[in-house]
Structure 1
Amino acid sequence: MIRKFVDDRPAIILGIETSCDDTGCGIVDTTGKILGEAINSQHLTHLKHGGIIPAIAGKMHRQHITTVCEDALRSANLRLRNIDAIATTTKPGLPLSLAVGNEFGKYLCRIGNKPYIPIHHMEAHALTVRIEQKVYFPYLVLLVSGGHSLLAIVENVDKFYTLGTTLDNAPGEILDKIARRLKLANMPEFSHMNGGQAIENAASKASNPTKFFFEPVLTKKRDCQFSFAGISNKIFKYLNTETFDIDDVYNFCAAVQLSFAKHICLRTQRAMEFINNMNLISQEKRTLVVSGGVACNNFLAKTLEIVCLERGFKFVRTPPRLCNDNGVMIAWNGAEKWMTNINVLRDREEIEMVSIEKNASFGESWIERVQEANIKCKLVKLNRL
């Protein structure tokens, strides 16, 4: 049930996101209406450095957070007094970045006498889809981004069961490194893109997408754990011994993209088999939600859609504009917590004690349960691509 005030209006939540390199602010109400948003991207700045520099990210957040929040309020035609609560990412993420958002969020609470709602960044990604689509609990979520890769069952707003996570690097991080090694940023058509976007666009130009092939990894590990380091080692080993013309760069990117997609799909398919075998979600409600920056990749989305069709799951992708880090997803997570009265802090001393966390678990770990299930799984054929 949606909590309303005596004037019967929906509550309005302002969300602040500064977990990594984007300064975001979003304003939503508890009906799911996006009232205003603003963002300052540091992408081009960090692209010049070949990766995110935490000190620079923190400094830029401080420079822009006031303006970003003012712009969001202006776009919503609201003032702080119209806001019912402030929601802010407090974990996990870069400490220097998280600190800026946490401090500013608490500052707004002090001057506006507002409740504070600390937000877990990955939980927000997992729930963002519900702002635009009716996705009912429980559901399976796949989060893939520059900082994370995991599979989990979303039981409700505050309860998650992790089925698998990354053993090493996140997919977005590795794709960025491969793009840098291929020097895609030196090509005008890719110069404004992050690594994953550049590889996807280059792959779409492949004349012979099957020219290169990379053996899959962890095929004998019957769990849902991800490992992108093994794939990247094979890719970099090849890159260190070969030189390409432009056509081969495109073909190589197609092979890279396919190898990543197959690895993600196999782990996701096993998570589906686990859910089906244990009857954890009723057949008519079985849904896969995909979110995170890498979820913007249309090729990956197509492969996952094929897996869903074969395994009886409905495929739902978070709208691409909300897949990357943004303030709207934080505001919406705050709205869902407000409606269920979960972790809404009103005591001033309690609010001031809220701290940031660089690392944070995602709900309860069921990784061993999946391993014990020992599910043999052969990836469905993706030949309909």
Structure 2
Amino acid sequence: MTFMTVFPAKVNILHRLLQVRQMALSSGKAALSRLVLGIETSCDETGAAVVDEAGEILGESLCSQKDVHLRTGGIIPTVAQQLHRENIERVVREALERSGVDPGRLSAVATTVKPGLALSLGVGLEFSRRFVRQHGKPFIPIHHMEAHALTIRMLQPVAFPFLVLLVSGGHSLLAVARGVDDFLLLGHTLDEAPGDTLDKVARRLSLTKHPQCSELSGGQAIELLAKLGDRRRFKFTTPMGQTHDCCFSFAGLRNQVTMTILKKEAEEGVKQGTLLSCVNDIAAATQHTVACHLAKRAHRAILFCKANGLLPSGSPTLVLSGGVASNQYIRKALSIITETTGLQLLCPPAKFCTDNGVMIAWNGVERLREGRGVLPPHVDVSYEPKAPLGVDMTAEVRAAAVRLPAVKMMIPN
């Protein structure tokens, strides 16, 4: 005679208790920690995700507009706005359904409100206002670049302070991250961002006509063709070589590339819109010059931080993030600088470098933990197409006029 035959009722009770325990374990951190819904519509990606306090991504959805904008030759704000409007409700619903989280269980909703395309930001903010008021949830306005900077902390333990280089289609900046909402801005773009430059060069080269590049973004096409090119064939001058600060400029480089393309079109007797025979070499030289410019400004920022005690003496870190950070050649260029200066280089995986709802949700988690910028559902919030990050230290960096030692940028292709 066994325990099961003598006490069948107790066995059934124990079995049910074990089932309940297993269900609790399977839902894991979601049952034990606060949950944040993140919503991203700053440019041409409609993203949403539910993330918990431990950085577990419970559910996400992302709708890219890349194919549409490739066909139109660039992002048209009104088109981006309409696509966000068409997709945001579905994207948020999918993120919630995949997470298994009912809106009532959310602790807060975090949404990008700055910086970005005004028409795109407006769609995300308008949807979020309705959502938080309908469900009575706190609202956390998010600075897009702050979210990029903090993404790495969702993936591995990175303590403040650390240096961050953010490079994307719309932004480039260097900053010291001292806290969740505490940044020192060391440098920023003075004209256009590196991703914008790469996209414009790709369009001028008509890379959508290339059989290997028809479905790639401009930056992706440049990176792909550069692997097959000779970067030494064309000598483009690295921007701002005589300006000893940490700001960026890419418009001059784009002009150099455009003049070279015009010259080669004349030599080959072809009109604009025809693929040049040297397209791989132009792509390689452009990418190399962009990488060197980013690396040199980051090098100066590191030396400035060391001279002013802005980074810890033990295991200082440079975080590289933003859409352009997925470029492996640029990562290798930055790794040369960090190895030279004794820093650790950390980069999120490529899927977390581009815009997404996960990074917005995680930024919301970080702010929720510290009670920073958490608003009641009925407070009015405005979007800001242009918004600096942190305290501007660019004048102090320029005044320091840090000279760079020579570093050979022997970047393997």
- TM-score using structure 2 length: 0.89
The alpha-carbon deviation at position 252 of structure 1 amounts to 1.4
- Distance change (3 Å), C-alpha of 1:158 and 1:72: same
**Pairing 1:274–2:304 present:** yes
The alpha-carbon deviation at position 264 of structure 1 amounts to 0.6
In structure 1, give the amino acid aligned to 2:387.
A
Which among 41, 44, 53 is matched to residue 30 of structure 1? 53
Asked whether the 8 Å contact 1:139–1:285 carries over to 2, the reply is: no
The alpha-carbon deviation at position 379 of structure 1 amounts to 4.7
Asked whether the 8 Å contact 1:129–1:319 carries over to 2, the reply is: no
Query: What is aligned with 1:3?
Result: none
Please say which of residues 180-189 and 148-157 is displaced more in the overlay: 180-189
Q: Distance in 2 between matches of 1:99 and 1:26?
A: 19
Query: What is aligned with 1:358?
Result: 385
**Pairing 1:12–2:35 present:** yes
Q: Deviations over 1:11-32 (max 9, x none)?
A: 0000000001110001100111
Query: What is aligned with 2:14?
Result: none
Query: What is aligned with 1:148?
Result: 171
The alpha-carbon deviation at position 285 of structure 1 amounts to 3.3
**Pairing 1:176–2:199 present:** yes
The alpha-carbon deviation at position 117 of structure 1 amounts to 0.4
Q: Secondary structure at the match of 2:185?
A: strand
Q: Which runs of 4+ in 1 moved over 2 A?
A: 243-247
In structure 2, give the amino acid aligned to 1:349.
H
The alpha-carbon deviation at position 78 of structure 1 amounts to 1.7
Q: Distance in 2 between matches of 1:252 and 1:50?
A: 20
The alpha-carbon deviation at position 343 of structure 1 amounts to 0.8
Asked whether the 8 Å contact 1:265–1:379 carries over to 2, the reply is: no
Asked whether the 8 Å contact 2:58–2:98 carries over to 1, the reply is: yes
Query: What is aligned with 1:318?
Result: 348
Query: What is aligned with 1:226?
Result: 248
The alpha-carbon deviation at position 134 of structure 1 amounts to 1.1
Query: What is aligned with 2:7?
Result: none
The alpha-carbon deviation at position 251 of structure 1 amounts to 1.4
Q: Distance in 1 between matches of 2:148 and 2:69?
A: 23
Asked whether the 8 Å contact 2:257–2:282 carries over to 1, the reply is: no
Q: Deviations over 1:109-132 (max 9, x none)?
A: 111111100000110011011111
Q: Secondary structure at the match of 2:58?
A: strand
**Pairing 1:80–2:103 present:** yes
The alpha-carbon deviation at position 246 of structure 1 amounts to 5.8
Query: What is aligned with 1:258?
Result: 288
Q: Deviations over 1:312-368 (max 9, x none)?
A: 11000122101000000000000000011101112x432xx1111111111100001
In structure 1, give the amino acid aligned to 2:318.
L
Query: What is aligned with 1:349?
Result: 378
Q: Distance in 2 between matches of 1:89 and 1:184?
A: 32
Q: Distance in 2 between matches of 1:384 and 1:258?
A: 8
Q: Secondary structure at the match of 1:325?
A: coil
Q: Distance in 2 between matches of 1:78 and 1:59?
A: 28
**Pairing 1:368–2:398 present:** no
Asked whether the 8 Å contact 1:266–1:378 carries over to 2, the reply is: no
Q: Which has the larger radius of gyration?
A: 2
Q: Secondary structure at the match of 1:155?
A: strand
Q: Distance in 1 between matches of 2:257 and 2:186?
A: 27
**Pairing 1:294–2:324 present:** yes
Q: Distance in 2 between matches of 1:357 and 1:80?
A: 27
In structure 1, give the amino acid aligned to 2:260.
Y
Q: Deviations over 1:50-95 (max 9, x none)?
A: 1101011111111100000011111112221121110000111111
Asked whether the 8 Å contact 1:224–1:270 carries over to 2, the reply is: yes
- TM-score using structure 1 length: 0.95
The alpha-carbon deviation at position 286 of structure 1 amounts to 1.1
Q: Distance in 1 between matches of 2:343 and 2:356?
A: 28
Q: Distance in 1 between matches of 2:246 and 2:77?
A: 30
Q: Distance in 2 between matches of 1:383 and 1:297?
A: 16
Q: Distance in 1 between matches of 2:154 and 2:378?
A: 31
**Pairing 1:236–2:263 present:** no
The alignment-based identity, stated in percent, is 45
Asked whether the 8 Å contact 2:234–2:281 carries over to 1, the reply is: yes
Which among 360, 364, 381 is matched to residue 408 of structure 2? 381
Q: Distance in 2 between matches of 1:142 and 1:373?
A: 20
In structure 1, give the amino acid aligned to 2:410.
N
Query: What is aligned with 1:217?
Result: 239
Unaligned residue ranges in structure 2 (runs of 5+): 1-29, 269-274
**Pairing 1:166–2:189 present:** yes
- Distance change (3 Å), C-alpha of 1:214 and 1:384: closer
Asked whether the 8 Å contact 1:28–1:328 carries over to 2, the reply is: yes
**Pairing 1:96–2:119 present:** yes
Q: Distance in 1 between matches of 2:216 and 2:143?
A: 27
User: CA RMSD for the aligned pairs?
Assistant: 1.4
